[in-house]
Amino acid sequence: MHASIQESLTTLLEAAIADAGFEEKRGGSPLEWALSAGFGDISNNVAMRIASAMKQPPMKIASVIVEALQKRLIDSPCRASVSQIKAEGAGFINVYLSDEYFRQVLLDIIEQGSGFGRSSEGKGRKVLVEFVSANPTGPLSVAHARQAAVGDALANILAFLGFEVQKEYYLNDEGNQINTLGKSVEARLKELNGEKVEFPENYYQGDYIVDMARRIRDEKIEVRDFAQYSSNYILDIIKKELEDFHVKFDCWYSQKSLRESGKQQKALDYLRSAGHLFDEDGAVWFRSTAFGDDKDRVVIKSDGAFTYLAPDIAYHGDKFARGFDWLINLWGPDHHGYIPRLKAAVMALGGRADSLSVVIVQLASIFRNGRVIEMSTRRGQYITLREVLDEVGVDAARYFFCMRRTSSHLNFDLEVAKKQSPENPVYYVQYAHARISSILRQAGIAARPQLPGSFAFGEKEEQVLLKKLWQFPYILKVCLGTLDPYMMTVYLQETAEGFHRFYDKHRVLGQDPACTQARLCLIYAARSVLARGLDLLGVTAPEQM
RNA sequence: GCGCCUGUAGCGCAAUGGAUAGCGCAAUAGCCUCCGGAGCUAUGUGUACAGGUUCGACUCCUGUCAGGCGCACCA
């Protein structure tokens, strides 16, 4: 929604409310315009909000406000943008925007092309989006794949909205799990060499461990530090997988470097001096309960080793030190219990509670023909990102992983994602883009088309499509507000549908010149929006399929 | 036992607290002398249960039931 029209209408509405004498009763009620569901284009519910304070029916109040609004409108600069204002339904104030306004919207979209919707709302605020951050102990699972798709899309959207975004992968390159990995590989190598060794249950069981050991043996690689060698080996695999998934990180942040650089010790010293640490039972504790956690947490175990929290405190402190003032972390659901203690750490370090946003990305279940593929990390059997990519391709995979709210479990049916049929929404959207491209090719439109001097879209399908395009900036705002790109997938499907319906009912080429030209403008604008929306999700927008 | 997420049509899912709860699949019947039929049109059943807040609840709150995931001096 265009901020300009929304803002000027809000100003008008405020004046109208004062004219009607409702100012006091409004109290703090905000005057937000919403996209209207069915009547008009945008609507406001202030009449319903103040109804009980006024002890009058909402519809009556709305009528009075609308009357005042109409008077105000006469001398307002946005008069040309509004065709009607009505009180309707339960007491909504509905604004019907004019053909002239939508004509201007179309001109804007054509001029800005796929830059339509870009804004400076983020004001250059520095945001660090940390995601995936899987331990380099095995190939990426589908849970990581979902985080990768969601995190990357979210980062794209934030950047488009004027934030200065950095994408980061936190690398747990030391600790128990890495050591266990090293031992697992070493044990498998001994087995290959004919030694009889025990292979405990907590060792990594996957075939890739055996593959690694076999490679070490076959290529006669001399390994001094199995933990380091193995984790580097796997990290290379992970990097390649993410690259093939078209997810690029700006920074791979090493946990080990936190300890080696002394940042970890510094952070703990700071907490100690600020009185947030205490000693008990031979361990060092962080008093996280002082910041809302439900119990205090150990940072140094009684055996002298650090818990995961120690480097994590330092890590987040360092994020602030690097100038980021909004930290967005995408975590799997197994980490949700960790949020309060990390928030506590952020506050103990002097940050505001809301400077850290944690998005929990629920798990994805992989289906094949309606049947779930059972997963067991214990036996080392699980579907990897690699397998999904090989089977359905980048576009379908990225689109599918974003297609549900992050807080919901996602069911991903490999057979559906692979199908090039209407069941598969990503093709539905891409097909709309390709179809438009085909028409524009035939019309010989390479650059921006010109909108005829005076032309109004009279057909319902034209108007529906144009209004859909107009909503694009609003959808971006929703994604920002929810920190979730999934609404974009819903929007793109609806926009593609708007085009397909238009296409089926009306012809673009071969109409009278003004009509053809106007429709070329409309579909050109639609293509720009579809292309940008897909691009933000990391999905290609093909000109031909 | 405690915490987080989820419960909407046969299935998979939509719906910034808003108006007549939508879409796809599956089913049936149609639409290419015409810009790409990977498309379009028509036909119908539903908010797990019980309370509460609100002018208004799929949405928020409480409880019950069901499913998933957590609950370390692991990461």
Please provide the average confidence, as pLDDT, over all residues in chain A. Answer: 89
> Is residue A110 a contact partner of residue A449, using CB atoms and an 8 Å limit?
yes
Which of A367, A373, A427, A441 lies closest to A399, judged by CA?
A427
CA-to-C1' span, A169 to B70 (A): 23
Residue A376 β-bridge partners: A381
Q: What integer is the mean pLDDT of A136-158?
A: 92
- C-alpha pair distances (Å), A533 with each of A158, A211, A247, A437: 13, 41, 17, 16
Residues of A from 240 to 299 whose C-beta is within 7 A of strand B: which are they? 255, 280-283, 297-298
> Is residue A416 a contact partner of residue A522, using CB atoms and an 8 Å limit?
no
A46-57 confidence digits (pLDDT tens): 998 888 788 888
CA-to-C1' span, A405 to B50 (A): 28
Establish whether the CB of A506 is closer than 7 Å to any nucleic acid atom in strand B.
yes
Establish whether the CB of A333 is closer than 7 Å to any nucleic acid atom in strand B.
yes
Residues of A from 339 to 368 whose C-beta is within 7 A of strand B: which are they? 360, 362-363
Ordered domains of chain A (ranges, CATH): 3-97 (3.30.1360.70), 104-121+422-537 (1.10.730.10), 131-257+362-418 (3.40.50.620)
Lowest-confidence pick of A55-69, A153-167, A267-281, A353-367: A353-367
CA-to-C1' span, A176 to B73 (A): 13
CA-to-C1' span, A22 to B43 (A): 49
**Spatial distance between the Cα atoms of A310 and A111, rounded to a whole number of angstroms:** 52
Percent of chain A at pLDDT above 70?
A: 95
A375-407 confidence digits (pLDDT tens): 554 455 567 888 888 888 899 899 989 988 898
Establish whether the CB of A439 is closer than 7 Å to any nucleic acid atom in strand B.
yes
CA-to-C1' span, A368 to B39 (A): 27
Residue A50 one-letter amino acid: I
Residues of A from 32 to 51 whose C-beta is within 7 A of strand B: which are they? 32, 34-40, 43, 45, 48-49, 51
Which nucleotide is closest, CA of A340 to its C1'? B3
What is the ipTM, given to two decimal places?
0.90
Q: Which two tokens stand for residue A8?
A: 């000027």
Q: Which two tokens stand for residue A279?
A: 């000693």
Establish whether the CB of A199 is closer than 7 Å to any nucleic acid atom in strand B.
no
> Is residue A456 a contact partner of residue A103, using CB atoms and an 8 Å limit?
yes
| Closest CA-bearing residue to C1' of B32 | A504
Which nucleotide is closest, CA of A312 to its C1'? B75
